[in-house]
Amino acid sequence: MRQALIAGNWKMHGDSQQIHQLLGELKPAVADAEADIAVIPPAVYIPLCDELLKGSNVVFGAQNVSEQREQGAFTGELAASMLKDCGCTYVLVGHSERRALYGENDALVAGKVAAALAAELKPILCVGESRAQREANETLEVVGQQVDVVLSTLADGHDQLTIAYEPVWAIGTGLTASPEQAQEVHAFIRSKLAAHSQALAEKVRILYGGSVKAANAKELFSQPDIDGGLVGGASLDAAEFAAICHSIG
């Protein structure tokens, strides 16, 4: 039985005062939640999250990582070993905004996943299709390619991988894939994992991301292949995020 995971991606939001308030409200609100819970702040606030989350059931991660395995002359980059040293548990890899705005392709994303696993971080691989690709009935082809490139380059540590299906057309738009639409893609991803290894298919968590909120979380999470959520804007509201965390079970 896979343990559900709810991860809150803060994107480029927040300051010290807001984070103190947000986590101060969130920790007691989710102390008895049945899901694993993570927040993913901007990198400069990772040490603050480490300080504020000690002794709680909430862990934290990073929004990006370098594909470079060794430290070196890579100005502006963050090595996976550095994130691990700062206490990160998870790291987002291949988020649609990184792909669209910063030109990250499947090969680069695969390199980042491998670097994260080598440093004993748990990568959350983000995959998903654009609205044009969905309307052209290319969803499974696009998502399958994104998953296959990563699986084909990894030798070990696959069971530490999490995959987040985030239809690009549903991110920050207020649109949400129906539970049936989401389940179809999640089941397809599960079949990809099974083709690689049945044990892998049973262990790897597949999250849904794309305008997840308290109002739709329970129905989404009730689907057999949806193991939790990658939550965007709603994770900046402690009460809303807590309600999503309690939607498991």
Catalytic center residues: 95, 166
Distance separating alpha carbons of residues 160 and 155, to the nearest angstrom: 12
Distance separating alpha carbons of residues 166 and 208, to the nearest angstrom: 6
Give kind and range of the element (H or E) at residue 169.
none
First to last CA, the chain: 12
Distance separating alpha carbons of residues 64 and 83, to the nearest angstrom: 10
The torsion angles phi and psi of 58, rounded to 5 degrees, stand at: -105, 130
Nearest C-alpha neighbor of 95 from the set 174, 37, 9, 160? 9
Q: What are 16's two structure tokens?
A: 């010290």
Distance separating alpha carbons of residues 40 and 189, to the nearest angstrom: 24
Distance separating alpha carbons of residues 242 and 240, to the nearest angstrom: 5
